[in-house]
């Protein structure tokens, strides 16, 4: 993104006009109605001055000279004033309604576009962009982009108003018009200086607003870690620093507005005073009438406020341009996963094959390869445990199996079909991933399990039974209708994992991938879960799954039909648990280390319970 100092001036204004042009082309009908309503307001504003001038000249002054007037004259003047005021009010109401409608429609359309793009972009793109930034793109940046729309029809109407007013004033008296028109170039000059001074400051404020959102989300997302490690003060200080920078930027914006706003308010008033001064002299000389003077002076008074609409648009343009660049950065992002026309038909468990898969994470320091020529196959209906030390590529492999990302080389096949050749949604309908880090919505148990899938409660309970969650769900106050709180705050870690597993099982996937998805579950419960999956696999009702489970517990690994041992992103061994224990030193040492660590953890927890 260019430095803020280079963003000030005509380039920002030109870019802002192009952005507004996007909105006009998207909502031409609504924009036209709002501009016509603004034009009606402009015409009636000038007409108000004309009517007051006429009423002064034809009704008020004759009444003062003769000492009396007629009811017809007063009624006629009142009706003229009220009629013009009613039309003016109609113009104001219609302009505001349709300008607001256009603004909210554009904001809604681009929020939808941004969030849809988030869903289309691959996981690799999301890994390079903080969640807080994505939230800011979809919310604060979209709002900033279309902020100038609200005053835009008013500004367009002001231009029309100025043309009508100029003609009206020139027709009335050229000398007074010449004096009054000196104010308009002065207002235009101040607005240009205002926009140039405000642009870099407003740009920085918009960027810092997004940064504060990012830091806040990071702190909330890592709340448990922050509390566990006692880093509340550090996180508070980090947020305070960003918030202080945003505060200072907003204060700078307010300071500039505080400097220029009074000037822009005062210039039209000075114009009115100048018109009254020169007009009084012209009135004494008999060059104009009192009605003409009232007409011109009142017209300048009415123009004072609408002219500010130009300043409002100019003040919002820098933020709009910054927001537009950030939003376009999302909408123009590439790298979406390609899809073919293939299908994954059939029922029952799916056969899985991984052929020569390689994968690397891209970063500023270059590519970091995590998988090297990984190959293995899983027959339909079998359970395979993927075992390996931290950093061996297990979680990356699970993402490849369900096509959250694509391999750099090699292929993943389901029932002999390359997942890259399957039509959109085909893999998701066949395979399900349960990650280690579960996410539950602030919804009911039923809502978290089904996620909108239209299934009967019997099927939900069946999935809960397989996930060993039926007992604790039935014990909840409202059963399936119990709200679990944000991220499942009312549940334990093991309960959250079991609901996440039920969420996958209720879809009856043909391939079930568990990425250490039972790490928070008691080993005995975990064994029952895997045994339940084994029974469902052999039930013969077509609901069984091929299971790939990332595991570290010896008891869990022993339940698998086969083990794939990964080390440094390579398959270092395949076979049964007993076979690998016999012939692979690395595998044996790793599993024994896991077992010792688990035993030590259980001893610590047992000691804490005894002390309690």
Number of domains in the chain: 2
**Confidence class of residue 112 from pLDDT cuts 50, 70 and 90?**
very high
Q: Which domain holds residue 136?
A: 18-331
pLDDT of res. 61: 73
User: What average pLDDT does this structure show over 269-288?
Assistant: 76
The CA distance from 585 to 595, in Å, is 15
DSSP β-bridge partners for residue 214: none
Asked whether residue 360 is assigned to any structural domain, the reply reads no
pLDDT interval class at 598 (50, 70, 90) = low
* Secondary structure string (H, E, C) spanning 443-455: CEHHHHHHCCCCC
Identify the band that residue 29 occupies on the pLDDT scale cut at 50, 70 and 90: very high
Average pLDDT over residues 117-145: 81
Is the domain of 308 the same as that of 398? no
- 466 and 394 housed in the same domain: yes
Question: Nearest to residue 399, comparing CAs of 416, 415, 386?
Answer: 386
Q: Are residues 70 and 188 in the same domain?
A: yes
The CA-based angle 580-582-588, given to 5 degrees, is 65
Q: Is 303 part of any domain?
A: yes
Last residue of a domain, one of 293, 311, 331: 331
pLDDT higher than 50, residue 305: yes
Domain boundary (295, 316, 331) is at 331
Do 247 and 118 lie in one domain? The reply is: yes
Answer whether residue 6 shows pLDDT above 50.
no
In angstroms, the CA 330 to CA 219 distance is 23
Say whether pLDDT at 431 is over 80.
yes
Higher pLDDT, 5 or 300: 300
Residue 208 pLDDT: 81
Mean pLDDT calculated for residue range 277-286:
76
Per residue in 315-344, pLDDT (tens digit) is: 677 778 888 888 888 888 876 677 777 777
Residue 351 lies in a domain: no
CATH of the domain at 43: 1.20.1560.10
Domain boundary among 299, 331, 363: 331
| 3/203 Cα distance (integer angstroms) | 9
Residues 121 and 183 in one domain: yes
Same domain, yes or no: 210 and 130:
yes
Q: Is 513 helix (H, G, I), strand (E, B) or coil?
A: strand
Residue 410 falls within a domain, yes or no? no
Does 100 share its domain with 233? Answer: yes
The angle that helices 28-55 and 71-120 make with each other, rounded to 10 degrees, is 160
CB atoms within 10 A of CB 193: 12
High-pLDDT (> 70) share of the chain, %: 86
Residue 4 pLDDT grade (very low, low, confident, very high; cuts 50, 70, 90): very low
Given pLDDT bands bounded at 50, 70 and 90, which one contains residue 110? very high
- Give the pLDDT confidence score for residue 367 in this predicted structure: 67
Copy the structure tokens of residue 190. 């101040």
Structure token pair of residue 610: 């005894």
Q: How far apart are CA 54 and CA 50, in angstroms?
A: 6
Structure tokens at 349: 């468990």
For residue 609, the model assigns a pLDDT of 46
Residue 206 in any domain: the answer is yes
Residues 6+ apart with CB under 8 A from 463: 449, 502, 503, 505, 506
Q: H-helix or E-strand containing 172?
A: helix 152-172
pLDDT tens sequence across 137-196: 888 888 888 888 888 887 777 777 777 777 777 777 777 777 766 776 777 677 777 767
Q: Give the 3-state secondary structure of residue 456.
A: coil
Looking at the structure, tell me whether residues 327 and 451 fall in a common domain.
no
Question: Are 270 and 385 contained in the same domain?
Answer: no
Mean pLDDT of the chain: 78
- List Cα–Cα distances, 449 to 461, 484, 504, 572, 574, in angstroms: 10, 11, 8, 37, 34
Calpha distance 376→385 (Å, rounded): 12
pLDDT above 80 (res 13): no
Q: Are residues 137 and 47 in the same domain?
A: yes
Phi, psi dihedrals of residue 53, rounded to the nearest 5°: -65, -45
pLDDT one-digit tens code per residue, 285-304: 777 777 677 767 777 766 65
Domain membership flag for residue 258? yes
77 and 226 housed in the same domain: yes
Query: What pLDDT, on the 0 to 100 scale, is given for residue 604?
Result: 56
Q: Residue 552 maps to which CATH number?
A: 3.40.50.300
Q: Is the pLDDT reported for residue 418 higher than 70?
A: yes
> For position 8, what pLDDT does the model report?
45
Let me know if residue 374 belongs to a domain: no
Percentages of the chain per state (helix, strand, coil), in multiples of 5: 65, 10, 20
Claim: this prediction has a pTM higher than 0.85: no
**Alpha carbon distance 534, 549 (integer Å):** 13
SS3 label, residue 546: strand
In a domain, 607, yes or no: yes
Q: Are residues 301 and 438 in the same domain?
A: no
């Amino acid at each position: 993104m260019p430095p803020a100092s280079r963003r000030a001036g005509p380039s920002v204004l030109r870019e802002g006009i192009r952005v507004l042009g996007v909105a006009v082309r998207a909502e031409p009908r609504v924009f036209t109605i709002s501009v016509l309503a603004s034009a009606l307001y402009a015409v009636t504003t000038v007409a108000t001055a004309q009517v007051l001038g006429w009423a002064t000249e034809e009704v008020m002054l004759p009444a003062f000279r003769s000492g009396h007037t007629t009811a017809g004259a007063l009624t006629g003047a009142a009706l003229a004033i009220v009629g013009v005021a009613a039309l003016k009010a109609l113009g104001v109401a219609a302009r505001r309604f349709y300008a607001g409608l256009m603004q909210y429609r554009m904001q809604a359309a681009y929020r939808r576009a941004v969030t849809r793009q988030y869903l289309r972009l691959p996981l690799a793109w999301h890994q390079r962009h903080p969640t807080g930034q994505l939230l800011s793109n979809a919310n604060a940046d979209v709002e900033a982009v279309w902020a100038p729309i609200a005053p835009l029809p008013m500004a367009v109407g002001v231009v029309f108003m100025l043309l009508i007013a100029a003609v009206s004033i020139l027709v009335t008296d050229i000398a007074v018009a010449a004096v009054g028109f000196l104010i308009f170039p002065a207002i235009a000059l101040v607005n240009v200086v205002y926009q140039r001074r405000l642009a870099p400051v407003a740009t920085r404020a918009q960027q810092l607003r997004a940064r504060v959102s990012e830091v806040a989300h990071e702190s909330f997302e890592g709340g448990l870690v922050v509390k566990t490690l006692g880093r509340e003060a550090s996180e508070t200080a980090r947020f305070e620093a960003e918030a202080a920078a945003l505060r200072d930027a907003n204060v700078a914006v307010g300071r500039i507005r505080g400097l220029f706003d009074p000037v822009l308010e005062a210039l039209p008033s000075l114009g009115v005073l100048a018109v009254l001064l020169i007009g009084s002299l012209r009135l004494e000389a008999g060059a104009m009438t009192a009605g003409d003077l009232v007409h011109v002076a009142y017209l300048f008074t009415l123009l004072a406020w609408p002219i500010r609409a130009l300043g409002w648009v100019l003040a919002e343009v820098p933020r709009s341009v910054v927001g537009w660049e950030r939003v376009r950065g999302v909408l123009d992002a590439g790298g979406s996963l390609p899809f073919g026309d293939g299908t994954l038909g059939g029922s029952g468990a799916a056969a899985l094959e991984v052929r020569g898969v390689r994968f690397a994470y891209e970063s500023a320091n270059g590519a970091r390869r995590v998988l090297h020529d990984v190959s293995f196959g899983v027959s339909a209906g079998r359970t395979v445990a993927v075992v390996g030390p931290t950093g061996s590529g297990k979680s990356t492999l699970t993402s490849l199996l369900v096509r959250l990302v694509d391999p750099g080389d090699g292929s993943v096949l389901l029932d002999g079909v390359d997942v890259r050749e399957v039509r959109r949604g085909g893999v998701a309908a066949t395979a399900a991933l349960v990650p280690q880090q579960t996410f539950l919505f602030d919804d009911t148990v039923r809502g978290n399990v089904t996620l909108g899938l239209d299934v009967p409660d019997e099927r939900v309970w069946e999935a809960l039974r397989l996930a060993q969650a039926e007992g604790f769900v039935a014990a909840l106050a409202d059963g399936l209708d119990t709200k679990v709180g944000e991220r499942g705050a009312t549940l334990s870690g093991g309960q959250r994992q079991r609901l996440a597993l039920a969420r996958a099982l209720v879809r009856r996937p043909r391939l079930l991938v568990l990425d250490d998805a039972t790490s928070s579950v008691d080993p005995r419960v975990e064994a029952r879960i895997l045994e339940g999956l084994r029974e469902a696999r052999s039930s013969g009702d077509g609901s069984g799954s091929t299971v790939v489970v990332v595991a570290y517990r010896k008891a869990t690994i022993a339940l698998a039909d086969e083990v794939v041992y990964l080390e440094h992103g390579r398959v270092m061994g395949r076979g049964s648990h007993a076979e690998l224990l016999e012939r692979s030193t690395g595998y044996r040492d790793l599993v024994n280390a896991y077992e010792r660590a688990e035993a030590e953890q259980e001893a610590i927890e047992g000691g804490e319970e005894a002390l309690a």
